[in-house]
Amino acid sequence: MNPVFKALAFCLSLWLSANAHAMTLERVGNDLYATGPTVDHDFLQFKEAFAKGGIERLVLVNGPGGDLWTGMQVARMVQDAKITTVASGACMSACSLIFMAGQARTFGTGNLPRVTMVGIHGAHDRDTKRVNPTLMPQMYALYKQQMGNKFDAQVINQALYDIKEASGFLRIRELQRTQEKDRTPWFCPTGQTPFDQCQRHTGKDAFSLGVVTQTETVPLQLPESMKVQLGFFGKSLGAPMVDLHDRSDTLIEGLCKGQLLCKTIGQRTFNNYLSANHNKAMAIGWGKTGYGVRWGADDPGLAMLGALYHCNHAKNNPKLCRLVSVNEHEVLPLYDEASTQAAAFLGQLQTPSPERTQAEREEPGARTPSKLRWGHALTGMTPKALEGIQRWDTATLVQALQQPGRPVVIDVANFGPVIPGALSFIKSGLAFEDDKLEQPYAERFGQMLRAAAPDLNQPVVFYCSNSESWLSVNAAMRARLMGYTQVIWYRGGFTAWTQAGLPTVGRVPVAVLY
């Protein structure tokens, strides 16, 4: 599997019981634990916590970043308090500013070694996600001050000024629990840049760059609310409910549908799967025989993506697939659950108000594009229209979903719930300037779309998170190039759907494209 999965996989597989809209703070003795995104009012939370005194260590647990002003203000509090900072899991963007403010800095346990890292990148506009160079100097000054004589201007300048969009990062992993080859920092200008095209800073690591002040990883006992729990695309799985050993015969029969050779090979593979170490997953074909397995992955998310990918793109047998299990959890019933919920919801959809529909139709847009957009420009204002492609609003989609011959609806986002009945295609709205990447990707896209909609004349709807995502634009344009005659683009996407008060179901992916 392509290494670009790694950042995505962690988000998919590790569900955190923290507030999704602000940092959660919890005091344990002289330690202050913080997890979640950094937002405006977090400044007051930290101010109140520090005012009580006695904090010796700030432990940052999986901080994806957020508001720059808040990150800088909290960083100054940490500097003034002269305390130690510890990173457990991924500490990215604004979180890295807070982490770097510690007088002593180290990595901590509590999360997997390869996903425990500090991520540094430049400032960008909150809404457009475009890079904003005018905000870089204050960040540069903090990093320079804290890194001292280990400060590497070339590396930090690259991290701040050379990103192409908000998901570009310089990533720096922990030291003690990782292999030497994994300690080398690497810079990717975009979130879609393949790993082999990112720049690796050979000979450097978190200690030599001054990111941490010691090489040892400190042991932590995270609060229960911040411990990582296994999840399935945002749904907590809790404890295993069944013994997969007891279910193996039933699962193999469902996989092979009576084919003796398939059952023989499948049973052997499944036995290997059951005896393998954790971070493993299995997927089976949906409507076609075949399967994909992955074990020994760095984390459960990589295992799930890998199993689904190998099932989808098996040589001479491309097909849509469903995940059967991850580690000791059976997840196939979640597909049936989503299908049942979708059927119930689709029968009672309410058409949005005329005012909301009119506002959606009048939303401003950019010019009609002549080509696909590459990975560094996948956010921002989308067009008002696409050539040869219908643009639907929420009211039109609701009406179509209530007809007997419903369109095929494809969700091209990577996270969150979906519109009832939509098929989740992970990483399906990408495009590449490099033809060596573009050609095989286009072939995989075509195979999965034909599996979902074999009739070129049937209507196919593409949507993403909102009207500022180009992923759905790319996917719709690809379908048109393939010869589909009724390609529809639901521009408002998931945001417009939920703003209209319409129901959603959990994401159960059937394809991974990259």
The answer to whether 168 touches 378, Cβ cutoff 8 Å, is no
Q: Mention the CATH class of domain 337-509.
A: alpha beta
At 312 the pLDDT is 98
337-509: same fold as 17-227? no
Exposure of 438 by Cβ count < 10 A (0-12 exposed, 13-18 middle, 19+ buried)? middle
The answer to whether 166 touches 375, Cβ cutoff 8 Å, is no
Average of pLDDT values for 70-94?
96
Average of pLDDT values for 226-251?
70
Domain ranges in the chain are 17-227, 235-330, 337-509
Average of pLDDT values for 455-460?
97
At 3 the pLDDT is 38
Average of pLDDT values for 187-191?
88
Give the whole-number percent of the chain exceeding pLDDT 90. 66
CA distances from 512 to 4, 299, 323, 325, 385 (A): 12, 17, 11, 16, 27
Examine the pLDDT at 18 and tell me if it is beyond 70.
no
Return the number of other C-beta atoms located less than 10 Å from residue 199's C-beta.
15
Examine the pLDDT at 127 and tell me if it is beyond 80.
no
Average of pLDDT values for 163-170?
88
Q: What is the C-alpha separation between 84 and 399, in angstroms, rounded? A: 57
At 380 the pLDDT is 85
Average of pLDDT values for 342-361?
93
Q: Which two tokens stand for residue 285?
A: 């074909």
Q: What is the C-alpha separation between 187 and 119, in angstroms, rounded? A: 10
Return the number of other C-beta atoms located less than 10 Å from residue 333's C-beta.
11
Report the CATH superfamily, name and number, of domain 17-227: 2-enoyl-CoA Hydratase; Chain A, domain 1 (3.90.226.10)
Q: How confident is the model at residue 24 (pLDDT cuts 50, 70, 90)?
A: very high
Average of pLDDT values for 379-404?
94
Q: How confident is the model at residue 177 (pLDDT cuts 50, 70, 90)?
A: very high
Average of pLDDT values for 194-223?
94
Give the whole-number percent of the chain exceeding pLDDT 70. 87
Examine the pLDDT at 74 and tell me if it is beyond 50.
yes
Average of pLDDT values for 129-154?
92
Examine the pLDDT at 256 and tell me if it is beyond 70.
no
Among 54-63, 253-262, 276-285, 400-409, which stretch is predicted with the lowest mean pLDDT? 253-262
Question: Where is pLDDT greater, at 14 or 467?
Answer: 467
Q: Which two tokens stand for residue 219?
A: 């042991």
At 470 the pLDDT is 95
At 124 the pLDDT is 75
At 289 the pLDDT is 83
The answer to whether 102 touches 81, Cβ cutoff 8 Å, is no
Among 154-158, 237-241, 388-392, which stretch is predicted with the lowest mean pLDDT? 237-241
At 296 the pLDDT is 76
Q: What is the C-alpha separation between 158 and 154, in angstroms, rounded? A: 6
Q: For the segment 420-457, what is each residue's pLDDT rounded down to a tens digit? A: 999 999 999 999 999 999 999 999 999 999 999 999 99
At 164 the pLDDT is 87
Contacts of 355 (CB under 8 A, 6+ apart): none
Nearest to 503 by CA among 278, 296, 284, 345: 345
Examine the pLDDT at 22 and tell me if it is beyond 90.
no
For residue 399, what is the enclosing H or E element?
Answer: helix 394-401
Q: How confident is the model at residue 231 (pLDDT cuts 50, 70, 90)?
A: confident
At 126 the pLDDT is 64
Among 80-89, 169-178, 254-263, 281-290, which stretch is predicted with the lowest mean pLDDT? 254-263
